[in-house]
Structure 1
Amino acid sequence: MIEVKGKIMGLDLRLPIGWLFSIIGALLVLYGLVSNKAIYAHSLGININLWWGLVLIIFGGIMLFLAHRASRAAVNGEREVGL
């Protein structure tokens, strides 16, 4: 929970952002695994969809971790100083 001028906001934006990037990343990884290898000839044979999907999953995981850490700190009564 985040406190703004004495009021507690119920939604940490890192949570939906984390889920959004994780889901899109998972879809890109899945597409990168099942797609035809010939479409990656323009990118020097590098499976761009697979690699960027992994990057998005990692970023989404970091956002979810930070949201979980902030909610746990709010339950324990600790104040979040900032990032």
Structure 2
Amino acid sequence: MAGRSSGHTAGAFDIRTVIALLFAIYGVVLAIVGVVQPQAEIDKAAGVNINLWAGIGMVVFAVVFVAWARLRPIVVPDEAERGASPE
């Protein structure tokens, strides 16, 4: 894996990190709404607290995306290695 050693990682600019952040924010909001919503609203959804379960699912999805971004980072080549030859 000699090609992976040169360059630097995309870090916070990796699209997977941005997607994970958005899913985490919406997931936490949904989980909070699911915890504080009245029982009458849960009964309308056939007794399933769908906001809570969807929020938990979104947070788990965000954790998977962050793990994927950490385990398989995108390597951005350095400026000198991009082949910046005059044409």
Q: TM-score, normalised by structure 1?
A: 0.70
Letter in 2 for 1:42: K
Structure with the higher helix share, 1 or 2: 2
Identity of aligned residues (%): 30
Post-superposition Cα deviations, 1:63-83, rounded to whole Å, max 9, x if no partner, equal 111111223x85xxxxxxxxx
Structure 1: gaps (5+ residues): 1-6, 75-83
2:61 to 38, 59, 76: 59
Partner of 1:37: 39
Size of the alignment, in residue pairs?
Answer: 67
The higher radius of gyration belongs to 2
Gaps of 5+ in 2: 1-6, 76-87
TM-score normalized with structure 2 length: 0.67
Superposition CA RMSD, Å: 2.2
By relative contact order (CA 8 Å, sep 6+), the higher-ranking structure is 2
Deviating runs (4+, > 3 A) in structure 1? 7-10
AA at the equivalent of 2:39:
K
